[in-house]
Structure 1
């Protein structure tokens, strides 16, 4: 047995760690998404047993993700729980189609600032929404209202013993998760989120705390195959927009996660098209079962790598442990306080906000930082899909601006020489600006035209600069190009004008 599976021992040990990380997250994501907790477990099982078996990324782990809670919650509110399965099913089929068309690699072209802005916006909404959940209060629908009404909700919680106890359980959960990282390495083999949930559950049970716990039904009873009415709802353009949002956001998050996981281990690299097929197959099955959408999850994936996983057997086994837990110990879930799961999601949402990334971007690329912040703000203000579209449009506009941005610098090189340095992309759109600047130079001075800082020089500009060099009455025009050999400069005698730019 061990000869057939030489890494089974390492993979089995890693799978237990991933299972312990995934269990509270599956429950927390489901509750935060406004669906029965069992649906989160079903998605986790599918992510392990189905997506985990397929080719793509060998060590990446899939399941319900905190990054999709906002859009799932909006979809359930807008179309109802029965429509969720159809939306996830259609999104999975769309992902399979994109994988077959080999579009997986193109997701890497999405600006990282847009993706980080998307995650930051999601994180803000999750943190605000789960603070309401921790206090037992009903959260407003919109992201802006959640943030605006938060101070009042906290004041209200402080005046109610029940809400205060619930908030304390949630805050204690966050503190345990954060503090667990300072424990000895052997202790940290048990995930902090699981320890926090266990402690919260024990405290609620032993002290008789007045906190609401997870409502648990049968897992099989939670499965709802899409009916004819639900399938007919695919004709609704608004629902189709949600399908597109599910597919694009889940795919982008999965493939960016794959790129991050590849940097954590020396094993086989991800095949992005096959990974997209695997994600699509998992979501198709989740849709048929009426469960939550799945995506690759960096928290579980990094835990898998750090625990010593060597092959995809670890992620498959984690699905097996989830299935056994659902089959043998479902009653245990009914003792878990909802405030503890809210605390887990507050911590997860906070980690989605790249505070350090924004500071670094602001230091060297403020345009990208503004794209990130604007995308996050748009998601909070108007919604997930619209916010991402705004971010993509801004990113494209910034790229167009960068491509057309041109700087012309004049400096006196001493004697009768003027040095003109051109930087950026030189196209016919900028030709009037360049010629106006050059033609304003005195004819009696020698001009050194330095093009070493340009990214692109199109044919129209090349011809126009050659023509200007021929007309210039100075003794000589020197043109330095970035693609010229070291120490070489193409020299144009103004009276000859025969050497090409």
Structure 2
């Protein structure tokens, strides 16, 4: 685990700076205390990171659960909502024991790649206002339609009335530092690979904010990170909230708990799949163990006043893009959050959001590179359509809806291909027979193929001669057998001769296809 500390420590610092405002922003969007988001970030890093088998995934509070959490807190109150978080975690452990982690493998690669590209575009778009000094909305709001009635693009228009010169300067210089560090300096000397560029950018931002106070280029307080500052150790302890277990019999608490378990598990499994695809070493995360880790994290988070936890692609992708090699990076980022909120909250509150916007610009661009779109386009419609629909759905709705749309398009594509590939039919002139046709059935023929096969048989002309080759067919749906039996009757009326070819020999004008296939030991379902 500690073999790659030279890569994991710099990556954990980057993830720490990315995660800190996200934890606070998601708590704000969820209608929960700001400290509850930090608790979830700490538990997600230290506890889930330690138990999980994912080497590069990072867990914490998720924007995708913000709407659910907001409604639940409004209905139940925060104390009773924490009971639902504990219940959700227990159910996730049960799902892991029942080996439900396999669900993640049923999502097509094109949809997962579309999810990553869509998240990259959203990250980029959502950080533009912060880069220009407009911070009305919370940092972690990733949905298109926002809680204040605005949307992603309307906020870009609103931003034009609130441009801060200081924020723009910080963003531009931070981007220059990041790009120069990664593309030039890191190749010049080893020292530039040990010290992460994002840390240098953050230090620059803090120094700039301090030096430019009370000038025309200052960074407004609204454009800085906002970490709760406890006045004493007792004040720090008072920020923890404990669940009200007297509400355990409340059906609404259980409904919320089940909802959290399902949504959090689905988001986690999708992010696991996506993170594994981004992993340069292509390691595979054990998904059932991941559900056990997430469930344990949610139980602990709920018990001490934290938000629900999932594996999250924004932090995971930042971790991967920063060169992390093992889970040590995720664990360290949680430890850094804990240490920093206890010891240096005042200093953290000097970090401009514009610096974090610059870091996330780079992350977003790497997730949605133009070369990825070119690559997917070259793979053909079957890959490109689900990819693009997933991106459009995520950008203009939210993560789960976008993935659902991409999955639906992927399934339709499969059905269409199955419809086309059930058989091969061609016409040829054979001696004195002009209307001779050959139809080869595929290895597996299901009810999805009956429309295509029925159409071809129906279009055969009178007095035709059909060779029906089932040599390669092993698996037949009973619907297909019915179609062939019905066609045998029509064939007599149209004077069509049918020659059935199999591995055992040839039969002309069989009276029952079902009997024939049973004799040939074809599996009829």
What band does the TM-score fall into relative to the shorter chain? 0.7 to 0.9
CA distance in structure 2 between the aligned counterparts of 1:429 and 1:299, rounded to whole angstroms = 39
CA distance in structure 2 between the aligned counterparts of 1:258 and 1:148, rounded to whole angstroms = 28
CA contact (8 A) 1:479 1:491 kept: yes
Counterpart residue number, 1:95: 92
Structure 2 gaps, min length 5 = 231-235
Give how far 1:316 is off: 4.2
Out of 250, 255, 259, which is 2:276 matched to? 259
Counterpart residue number, 2:359: 344
Are 2:511 and 1:494 aligned?
no
Counterpart residue number, 1:437: 456
Are 2:13 and 1:20 aligned?
yes
CA distance in structure 1 between the aligned counterparts of 2:399 and 2:112, rounded to whole angstroms = 12
1:346-368 CA distance string (max 9 Å, x none): 44444444755454444445355
Are 2:316 and 1:295 aligned?
no
Give how far 1:200 is off: 1.7
Out of 47, 51, 56, which is 2:53 matched to? 56
CA contact (8 A) 2:21 2:225 kept: no
Out of 202, 206, 226, which is 1:215 matched to? 226
Give how far 1:105 is off: 1.8
Are 2:130 and 1:133 aligned?
yes
Are 2:26 and 1:30 aligned?
no
CA contact (8 A) 1:54 1:278 kept: yes
Structure 1 gaps, min length 5 = 1-6, 481-488
Q: How does 1:404-443 map to 2 (within 5 A)?
A: 404-405=419-420, 410-415=425-430, 416=433, 417-421=436-440, 426-428=445-447, 430-431=449-450, 433-435=452-454, 437-438=456-457, 440-441=459-460
CA distance in structure 2 between the aligned counterparts of 1:78 and 1:358, rounded to whole angstroms = 39
How many aligned positions are there?
Answer: 474
Q: 1:24 to 1:125 in 2, by over 3 A?
A: same
Counterpart residue number, 1:106: 103
Q: 1:294 to 1:170 in 2, by over 3 A?
A: farther
Between 99-108 and 75-84, the greater mean CA deviation after superposition:
75-84
Give how far 1:452 is off: 8.0
CA distance in structure 2 between the aligned counterparts of 1:350 and 1:234, rounded to whole angstroms = 44
Give how far 1:277 is off: 0.3
CA contact (8 A) 2:499 2:509 kept: no
Counterpart residue number, 2:252: 235
Q: How does 1:88-487 map to 2 (within 5 A)?
A: 88-134=85-131, 135-139=133-137, 143=144, 145-158=150-163, 163-183=164-184, 184-185=186-187, 186=190, 187-208=192-213, 209-211=217-219, 212=221, 213-216=224-227, 217-218=229-230, 220=237, 222-227=239-244, 235=252, 239=256, 243-244=260-261, 246-257=263-274, 259-260=276-277, 264=281, 270-292=285-307, 293-295=309-311, 297-299=315-317, 302=320, 306=323, 309=326, 315-316=330-331, 319-353=334-368, 356-405=371-420, 410-415=425-430, 416=433, 417-421=436-440, 426-428=445-447, 430-431=449-450, 433-435=452-454, 437-438=456-457, 440-441=459-460, 447-449=466-468, 457-462=476-481, 465=484, 477=499, 479=501
Are 2:86 and 1:69 aligned?
no
Counterpart residue number, 1:3: none
CA contact (8 A) 1:406 1:424 kept: no
**SS of residue matched to 2:161:** helix
Give how far 1:204 is off: 2.2
**SS of residue matched to 2:99:** coil
TM-score (norm 2): 0.72
